[in-house]
Amino acid sequence: MERHFEQELDKLNKRILKMGNLVYDQVHNALEAILTCNPELAQQVVDNDYQVDKLDVKIDKLCQRIFALTQPVATDLRLIMSALKMNNDLERLGDLAVNISAKIEGVCEYKEILTELHFDELATMADLIVKDVINILNTRNTTFVKDIFVSANAIEEKVQAVSARILDEMMHKTEVIVVATNLMIILTQIDRIAGYSTNIAESVVFIVEGRMIKHKNPLKESAAVLPPNPEPEA
Amino acid sequence: MKETKIKTRDLTLYYGAKMALNSISLDIPENEVTAFIGPSGCGKSTFLRTLNRMNDLIPTVRITGEVLVDTLNIYDKQIDVVNLRKKVGMVFQKSNPFTKSIFENVAYGPRINGINHKGQLGEIVENSLKKAFIWDEVKDRLHDSAMGLSGGQQQRMCIARTLAVEPEIILMDEPASALDPISTAKIEELIFELKKNYTIVIVTHNMQQAARVSDLTAFFYLGELIEYGKTKKIFTTPDKKHTEEYITGRFG
């Protein structure tokens, strides 16, 4: 007999996954809209944001209910704590997709600059990191968590390189200042996409292994892929 | 880490032919609360009772291994069990007041230990009732029957009675299981205060209670000690799958 509590946890898992897929579609469509200069697709992202917000509230309420009624411990406690945090991170990813979409007009006036800056490579990297982390969330396979951090580092480096080029362009061609500013905003959003993706990966590690790895870069750890879990703080 | 107050080594207990505890070795630190959890019949109450030789009263019980309180093996032949139980007091699931006044209940232990001076007894009774957080509720009716107290008050009075003989260790077997939430909260607060001066070992079926009041938790299953460690670790990231399944309610 499946207990009522297990049904609630199952519901929570399904909702978080639904949120993950929804947010991935939003990020994917936002980047696609910029790359293809498709204002309709960008508007669709803006219009769909209410679905992300709605699900965000539903997940928060479900977590609140489980906390209040069941006093979860151990793996259940970790799942619900992480669900709250991941929900927040996913909702923010959804907002970033909207922010990117909102900048489409300013950027597509100078479509050629996107090609010059190889913006498609950066968009693909951002798309992939979200796709991969949602996959980790789905499978709870922490083997690939390290790859998320590798991708996030690569995105950060690429964002910095492209930003430097844009700044350079701005200094020499005043006519590109508006489009360049919009692009800089988009780059910031992409950098944050990488950051929220690593947050979600950290939460999955906490659920599965009970280890808190936030504020530690697993790539800097020598022997172990991830640092050992310290004793709980007093 | 605090000093070890109770140390058991390979403690095995049989009820007739049935092994109820299988080679339990565990260190209980001084001035901390240690909780024993586990499903019914897992041996946690039996183990608790071995710590002040309450199982001696059961004729079919056979015990091997050691229980050291401080450095004394309490199963040595020379041990005076009455003195041991003075040092290792016990509070039971159901409050068990004597059909006497509140004063006489608390004064009972000191009296049989030879204290008869009225002033001294009065002082012990008052201090014990204060330590058990019940003084204000009963100070004006000390000579009324203890049977007139509520269940929660009776239990705190029984704790005062235990404290009156100045134990160092207090064993509690489900001390709040028959009480309402308010009385339970009072007992839990009391445990929190008492641990400053006493070593407390508590058996509870209430997982949240173990999580709230204890510093260390031991999980027993089928007479074996499955996992023992800091409560905050056991209730967030237990090492053993069995513990995880039990505390999350997936078995037991």
Q: Is residue A47 assigned to a domain?
A: yes
Q: Is residue A116 assigned to a domain?
A: yes
Q: Is residue A234 assigned to a domain?
A: no
Total domains, chain A: 1
The pLDDT assigned to B56 comes to 86
Interhelix angle B151-163/B118-131, rounded to 10 degrees, is 120
Residue-wise pLDDT for B147-202, tens only, equals: 999 999 999 999 999 999 999 999 999 999 888 888 899 899 999 999 999 999 99
With CA atoms as reference, report the closest residue to A68 among A5, A1, A3, A2.
A5
Interface of A with B in 3-32 (CB under 8 A): 3, 5
Q: What is the mean pLDDT of residues A171-176?
A: 83
The pLDDT assigned to A56 comes to 97
Q: What is the mean pLDDT of residues B7-16?
A: 96
Max Cα-Cα span within chain B: 57
Residues A71, B208: C-beta atoms closer than 8 Å: yes
Confidence of residue A106 (pLDDT cuts 50, 70, 90): confident
Q: pLDDT at residue A229 above 60?
A: no
Q: Does A71 touch chain B (CB under 8 A)?
A: yes
Q: pLDDT at residue A228 above 70?
A: no
Ranked by mean pLDDT, which of A122-126, A166-170, B81-85 comes out on top? Answer: A122-126
Q: How far apart are CA A171 and CA A101, in angstroms?
A: 26
Report the first-to-last Cα separation within chain A, whole angstroms: 38
Strand order in the sheet with B4-15: B18-29, B4-15, B61-69, B72-73
Residues B247, A210: C-beta atoms closer than 8 Å: no
Residue-wise pLDDT for A145-154, tens only, equals: 999 999 999 9
Q: pLDDT at residue B102 above 50?
A: yes
Q: pLDDT at residue A117 above 70?
A: yes
Confidence of residue A3 (pLDDT cuts 50, 70, 90): confident
Q: What is the mean pLDDT of residues B57-79?
A: 93
Q: Is residue A231 assigned to a domain?
A: no
The pLDDT assigned to A232 comes to 56
The pLDDT assigned to B68 comes to 97
With CA atoms as reference, report the closest residue to A107 among A37, A163, A44.
A37
The pLDDT assigned to B252 comes to 58
Nearest to B235 among A74, A229, A231 (CB): A74
Ranked by mean pLDDT, which of A83-87, A209-213, B78-82, B244-248 comes out on top? Answer: A83-87
Interface of B with A in 207-236 (CB under 8 A): 207-208, 211, 230, 232-233, 235-236
Q: What is the mean pLDDT of residues A15-44?
A: 96
The pLDDT assigned to A71 comes to 86
Structure-block tokens of residue B182? 């308010």
The pLDDT assigned to B95 comes to 87
Percent of chain A with pLDDT over 90: 71
Q: What is the mean pLDDT of residues A119-137?
A: 96
Structure-block tokens of residue A98? 């909207």
Cβ contacts below 8 Å, chain A against chain B, sum to 35
SS3 B157: helix
Name every chain B residue with its beta carbon within 8 A of the beta carbon of A74: 235-238, 243-244, 247-248
Confidence of residue A233 (pLDDT cuts 50, 70, 90): low
- Which CATH number belongs to the domain containing residue A149 in this structure? 1.20.58.220
Q: pLDDT at residue A195 above 50?
A: yes
Catalogue all structural domains in chain B, each as residue range(s) with its CATH number. Answer: 4-97+167-247 (3.40.50.300)
Q: Does A222 touch chain B (CB under 8 A)?
A: no
Helix (H) and strand (E) counts for chain A?
Answer: 8, 0
Mean of the per-residue pLDDT values for chain B?
A: 94
With vertex at residue A100, the alpha carbon angle to CA A132 and CA A87, rounded to the nearest 5 degrees, is 50
Whole-number Cα distances in Å, B144 to A105, B102, B225: 86, 6, 45
pTM assigned to the model: 0.82
Q: Is residue A225 assigned to a domain?
A: no
Q: What is the mean pLDDT of residues B100-109?
A: 95
Mean of the per-residue pLDDT values for chain A?
A: 90
Q: pLDDT at residue A224 above 50?
A: no
Q: pLDDT at residue A97 above 70?
A: yes
The pLDDT assigned to A58 comes to 97
Percent of chain A with pLDDT over 70: 93
Query: Which residues does residue B227 pair with via DSSP β-bridges, in sequence order?
Result: B219
The pLDDT assigned to A223 comes to 39
Q: Is residue A232 assigned to a domain?
A: no
Q: Is residue A136 assigned to a domain?
A: yes
Strand order in the sheet with B224-230: B88-91, B169-173, B199-203, B33-37, B216-221, B224-230
Q: Is residue A229 assigned to a domain?
A: no
Q: How far apart are CA B220 and CA B226, in angstroms?
A: 6
Q: pLDDT at residue A226 above 70?
A: no
Place of tokens 């990297």: A125
Kind and range of the H or E run holding B145:
none
Give residue A66's domain range: 4-220
More confident residue, B45 or A228: B45
Place of tokens 């489900």: B174
